[in-house]
Amino acid sequence: MDSKRIGIMGGTFDPIHFGHLVIANEVLDQYHMEKIIFIPAGNPPHKKDSKASSIDRYIMTNLATLSNDKFEVSNIELIKKEKSYTINTLLVLREIYKDAEIYFITGADAIIELPNWYEFKSIIKLCKFIAVTRPDYNTHEIKEKIQSIIDIYQGQIELLKVPMLQISSTEIRNRIKNNRTAKYLLPEVVEQYIVKNNLYGDNNE
Ligand code: ATP
Ligand code: MG
């Protein structure tokens, strides 16, 4: 029998949007995965990488994934005081899902950065990667980049074509800051949460 496949979707999710959800769902479907685990990145107080707090990003990710019983959200990286590294997260997941194949999902922009990830050499032994297409990133160049990473590190990185949505969290934050609409770029409930809690406004820089 084939072993179970688990997808890992890492990100800041500041905020989560339809670009994230569509790629997670596409991977779930095309790879016949058991589930996709969304893992919002931690936000150590001394090095603030995100605009919204960890708890707000965690809540928004839960709201956005609520209606899909194959989407899960993990707080494993958020609860850490220190910076959390993917390698540590993967080691924990490997313990929990001993026999599963773990696939880490990344957008084309993130693939370029992979070799700079802390302990990447070990990471690529613990999981496989699925690189999904993203608007503004040339698929041919991404293919070459993937090949060059495989040549050096071995391991498995597959390119997956997904419906491309030109949406980014940065764009959504800018729109909200400038009182422009972000409707239909992210789930309505997440947009409502942002408005209700006054996230990404002028005072939140
Ligand atoms: P920001 O603008 O703040 O960087 P983002 O939209 O890139 O936000 P992240 O949380 O940084 O979102 O991304 C998490 C993962 O999702 C990354 O691997 C990223 O490449 C991927 N991703 C995000 N948006 C898209 C999209 N529209 N299409 C394909 N992949 C995406
Ligand atoms: Mg990004």
pLDDT for the residue 44 = 62
pLDDT at 1: 55
Distance of CA 205 to the CA centre of its chain: 23
pTM of the shown model = 0.95
Separation between Cα atoms, residue 85 and residue 102, nearest integer Å:
16
Which CATH number is 9's domain given? 3.40.50.620
User: Do 200 and 52 meet the contact criterion of CB atoms below 8 Å apart?
Assistant: yes
pLDDT digits (tens, 9 = 90+) for 86-125: 999 999 999 999 999 999 999 988 998 999 999 999 999 9
Q: Does residue 175 belong to any structural domain of this protein?
A: no
Structural domain total, the chain: 1
What is the DSSP secondary-structure string of 71-88?
EEE--TTTT-SSPP-HHH
119 lies in a domain?
A: yes
Structural domain of residue 114, as residue ranges? Answer: 5-166
Residue 190, domain member (yes or no): no
Which protein residues are within 6 Å of ligand 1, measured from CB? 11-14, 19-20, 23, 106-107, 109-110, 132, 134, 165, 167-170
The predicted pLDDT at position 117 comes to: 94
Domain assignment of residue 80, yes or no: yes
Q: In ligand 1, which atom is closest to the CA atom of 109?
A: 20
* Closest approach atom of ligand 1 to CA 13: 10
Q: Specify if 187 maps to a domain.
A: no
The answer as to whether 145 is a domain residue is: yes
Question: Which atom of ligand 1 lies at the shortest distance from residue 165's CA?
Answer: 27
| 45 falls within a domain | yes
Residue 193 lies in a domain: no
Half-sphere exposure of 181 (CA within 13 A, CB side): 3
Of 9, 20, 39, the residue with max ligand 1 atoms within 8 A of its CB, to mutate for a pocket test, comes to 20
Q: Write out pLDDT tens, residues 134-155.
A: 999 998 999 999 999 999 999 9
State the ligand closest to the CA atom of 162: 1
